[in-house]
Amino acid sequence: MHILFCVPVEQQEKSLLEQQRNKFTHLDSFVPRLHFTHCICLYLCHCRTNMERKVSALRRPTNLTEERERKATAVMNTNSSTVNLNLTAVTSVTCVESLYPGWRLKRHQLIHSGFKPYSCDLCGKPFTRAGDLKRHQLIHSGLKPYNCDLCGKSFTRAGHLKRHQLIHNGLKPYNCDLCGKSFTESGHLKKHQLIHSGIKSYSCDLCGKSFTEAGGLKKHQLIHSGFKPYSCDLCGKSFTESGLLKRHQLIHSGFKPYNCDLCGKPFTRAGDLKRHQLIHSGLKPYNCDLCGKPFTWAGGLKKHQLIHSGIKSYSCDLCGKSFTEWIQTLQL
């Protein structure tokens, strides 16, 4: 949902907006002719900075009527975090003063219409706007003209580079109220909060496994497809995701910057170190329902449960002996 905080604009800004109006006259054929003072869905400021700028504009002296001043005060007194967390409770808002001409609101309403006339010739993904399609096509082109000065990582868009650079400066201003975990972006925090909600709306049709996000389901479905387009140049091992390949390649690099404070064992990834440290803690919170054997990790319990299931999916090509785990075939 979105909220549109409308503020007065200078005459020069109005002139610039008027120049852009002609670019979007074709939207009249897609969106019903409505009185565009505000979107019924509530047009939300894209980021805290925009909202602060617009609220600051509301504080400037204007010739607003008493009613408009009251609404401006209400907007200024609204806590931004409260707005983000209680969008479902808001149903409508009246503009204090029109910031954008009708074409911009019409363009926004295309999102709700579900009409996506622009499709990618390579993958078929549809888009509402031509600009969105052009940005998407950069992915297929392989061009990544924006490079990070600190680590050399390249990106297709300048916005992606800016978000990446937040990692290097160490700033994580978005904190989870439930567990305290911090994030560089508000979007990452929102995704994380779905974990605490326990809501998993996306289920796999093949195995029934459910996920909090549609993206998680899509990644999971690649497992069933057997399609692994990302291969390691050094050992040939293939992966369903580019991120998994990158993590794997760290093994070949030999670089292990994460060391255990108790035993000194080094690890390639921080996550591997955290899992290792559970061994020293002695905690084994995962118990087998059938035999009661406890495990430090959930993955260890799952592997163990395969023994009880009797399923042996991995067979030796030389003698035909079958095993519950793939790793056992390497120990012959």
Q: Where are the domains of the chain?
A: 11-118, 143-197, 215-255, 256-332
Q: Which of 59-73, 129-143, 288-302 has the lowest mean pLDDT?
A: 59-73
- Phi-psi category of 320—alpha, beta or left, where left has phi over 0 and alpha has psi -120 to 50? left
Q: What's the confidence (pLDDT) of residue 157?
A: 86
Distance between alpha carbon 205 and the CA centroid of its chain, in Å?
A: 23
Q: What's the confidence (pLDDT) of residue 287?
A: 92
Between CA 267 and CA 253 the distance in angstroms is: 12
Between CA 117 and CA 286 the distance in angstroms is: 50
Instruction: Convert the pLDDT of each residue in 181-191 to its tens digit.
Output: 898 888 889 88
Between CA 233 and CA 218 the distance in angstroms is: 25
> Do 143-197 and 256-332 fold alike per CATH?
yes
| Structural class in CATH, domain 215-255 | alpha beta
Q: What's the confidence (pLDDT) of residue 61?
A: 44
Q: Return the CATH fold of 143-197.
A: Double Stranded RNA Binding Domain (3.30.160)
Query: 231 pLDDT exceeds 60?
Result: yes
Query: 235 pLDDT exceeds 90?
Result: yes
The residue that leads in pLDDT, 156 or 52, is 156
Rounded to 5, what percent of the chain is helix, strand, coil?
45, 10, 45
What share of the chain has pLDDT > 70, as a percent? Answer: 66
Instruction: Convert the pLDDT of each residue in 266-281 to its tens digit.
Output: 998 888 898 898 889 9
Range list of H helices, 226-329: 242-253, 270-281, 298-309
Domain covering 256-332 in this structure, CATH number:
3.30.160.60
Q: What's the confidence (pLDDT) of residue 326?
A: 63
Q: Which of 23-27, 132-136, 301-305 has the lowest mean pLDDT?
A: 23-27
Tell me which residue of 229, 232, 208, 233 sits closest to 220, measured CA to CA.
208
The residue that leads in pLDDT, 66 or 111, is 111
Q: Residues 6 or more apart from 118 whose CB is under 8 A from it?
A: 126, 127, 128, 129, 130, 132, 133
For residue 233, name the pLDDT band (cuts at 50, 70, 90). Answer: very high
Query: 138 pLDDT exceeds 50?
Result: yes
Query: 263 pLDDT exceeds 90?
Result: yes
Tell me which residue of 297, 251, 250, 293 sits closest to 274, measured CA to CA.
297
Q: What's the confidence (pLDDT) of residue 327?
A: 55
Phi, psi (degrees; rounded to nearest 5) at 186: -65, -35
Query: 324 pLDDT exceeds 80?
Result: no
Q: What's the confidence (pLDDT) of residue 70?
A: 54
> What mean pLDDT is reported for the chain?
73
Tell me which residue of 300, 298, 299, 295 sits closest to 284, measured CA to CA.
295
